[in-house]
């Protein structure tokens, strides 16, 4: 952050000094600051501030939604080793290789989702400017997005088909490992590996949409938004992974992953709620922020 390190050439001290600076030679371009920097004082409230975001209904919906998808993806990933070892008798080396489709899926899903997000936003932005007679060369910064701008549509319009792909892939993945007579066939391992690729691609596509809309809903609070998003994701993933093995042992991969797919279907209506009421909640939040901003300006004038 520039408030702490300037342009990266300022010599840091205390809690701001990186640990590797204690054991490595300092670069020649490092210099002491000319004067005291306006660094924010760290208090207990600094660490508690992100939790205030849980008061926002639309934000909570997106946090829970993304957390559920993240938990299921982690359950698929962590169960790969025992499932593939039992179904295909892979060695430790080949078990490691089996994770490659998952890795490629994360890359492909993120890249495609990023391009679609940019394209969709520009299309919606152009239509909005035409409707409101706004010059095309005027760009909306995250803090200046109008309350009536269809942000949810711009960011989440691709969600239905990506979720459909995710549910189908998770369900198909489970049944591709459910029957020993099928897994014993030569080359059958290709099918669950393809399913893993599709699961990772669709999951990370959802993550990209999810993180983007969360950041858009919290202009100027990117760090706090990322913190609470990671907290919810990792918390739900920890619970899911803890029960994954017991669930697989109890009902088998076919039923287990079918249940996970149906869990996604069960929580999907909250995104419908978000599409209908999200703009209203966002507009209310912007009005509250405007009132707080005006009050602060009045206090400074007084």
Whole-number pLDDT of residue 79:
95
Please tell me the pTM assigned to this model.
Answer: 0.84
Q: Where are the domains of the chain?
A: 1-40, 55-295
Superfamily of domain 55-295: MFS general substrate transporter like domains (1.20.1250.20)
pLDDT in tens, the chain (302 residues): 555 666 666 667 666 677 766 767 767 676 776 666 555 666 777 778 888 889 999 999 999 999 999 999 999 999 999 999 999 999 999 999 999 999 999 999 999 999 999 999 999 999 999 998 888 888 777 777 888 889 999 999 999 999 999 999 999 999 999 999 999 999 999 999 999 999 999 999 999 999 999 998 888 788 889 999 999 999 999 999 999 999 999 999 999 999 999 999 999 999 999 989 988 998 888 888 777 655 555 555 55
The residues, any chain, with a CB within 8 Å of residue 271's CB and separated by 6 or more, are 61, 65, 156, 159
Q: Which tokens sit at 40?
A: 């924010």
Whole-number pLDDT of residue 163:
97
């Amino acid at each position: 952050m520039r408030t702490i390190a300037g342009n990266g050439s300022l010599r840091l001290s205390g809690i701001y000094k990186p640990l590797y600076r204690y054991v490595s030679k300092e670069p020649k371009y490092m210099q002491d600051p000319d004067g005291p920097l306006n660094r924010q004082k760290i208090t207990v409230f600094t660490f508690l501030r992100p939790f205030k975001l849980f008061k926002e209904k639309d934000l909570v919906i997106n946090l829970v939604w993304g957390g559920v998808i993240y938990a299921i993806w982690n359950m698929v990933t962590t169960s790969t080793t025992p499932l593939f070892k039992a179904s295909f008798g892979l060695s430790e080396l080949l078990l490691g290789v089996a994770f490659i489709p998952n890795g490629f899926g994360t890359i492909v899903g993120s890249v495609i989702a990023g391009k679609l997000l940019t394209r969709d936003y520009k299309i919606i932005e152009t239509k909005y400017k035409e409707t409101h007679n706004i010059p095309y060369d005027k760009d909306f910064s995250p803090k200046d997005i109008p309350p009536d701008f269809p942000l949810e549509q711009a960011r989440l319009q691709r969600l239905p088909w990506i979720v459909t792909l995710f549910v189908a892939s998770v369900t198909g993945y489970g049944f591709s490992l459910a029957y020993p007579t099928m897994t014993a066939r030569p080359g059958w391992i290709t099918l669950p590996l393809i399913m893993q690729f599709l699961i990772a691609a669709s999951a990370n596509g959802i993550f990209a949409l999810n993180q983007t809309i969360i950041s858009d809903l919290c202009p100027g609070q990117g760090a706090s938004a990322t913190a609470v998003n990671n907290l919810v994701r990792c918390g739900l993933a920890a619970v899911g992974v803890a029960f994954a093995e017991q669930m697989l042992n109890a009902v088998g991969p076919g039923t287990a992953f079918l249940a996970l797919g149906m869990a996604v279907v069960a929580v999907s209506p909250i995104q419908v709620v978000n599409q209908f009421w999200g703009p209203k909640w966002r507009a209310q939040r912007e009005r509250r922020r405007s009132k707080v901003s005006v009050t602060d300006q009045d206090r400074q004038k007084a």
